[in-house]
Amino acid sequence: MANLVVEIKKTDEKVHFEAVSNSNPSIAIPFDYAPPLGNGQGFAGLEILLMGLAGCVSTTIVFVLGRLGKHIASFTASAEGIRRERPLSLEKIHLHLYIGSDDIEVADMENVIKQVEALSPVWQAVKNNVIVETTFELL
């Protein structure tokens, strides 16, 4: 498996950057910061980290549930990062999942979340530095 490569390019006189990945070079993700440091025309790094965690966990959960033969009618996730000011970082992440399904039970989700903790590469990357709390609602 090849290593991941991303490139970040400064695009204005402040701190606006665009990031691309070697696997998707035609899709740029804007990075920026709120004024006065930036112009607020992109995502802050911690927002991208939250998106990465939520996306990675979500794809892993959908994969595991699919392997179990479970039907997913809808799936939404939200991630809230609780900031630490000194040093500026995340102290805790609350990841909340909303799953619409007729055949997924609470016990299924509890077991799947335990598996995902071990399978999700982004969760593995943050777990020793940030508390990740996961909750879910079956719809």
Query: Do 3 and 30 lie in a common domain?
Result: yes
Query: Do 30 and 55 lie in a common domain?
Result: no
Asked if 63 and 76 count as a contact pair (C-beta separation under 8 A), the reply is no
Give the 3-state secondary structure of residue 72: coil
Total domains in the fold of the chain: 2
DSSP 70: -
Q: State CA 47 to chain mean position distance.
A: 9
DSSP 48: H
Query: Do 13 and 1 lie in a common domain?
Result: yes
pLDDT tens track, the chain, 139 positions: 789 999 999 999 999 999 999 999 999 999 999 999 999 999 999 999 999 999 999 999 999 999 999 999 999 999 999 999 999 889 999 999 999 999 999 999 999 999 999 999 999 999 999 999 999 999 9
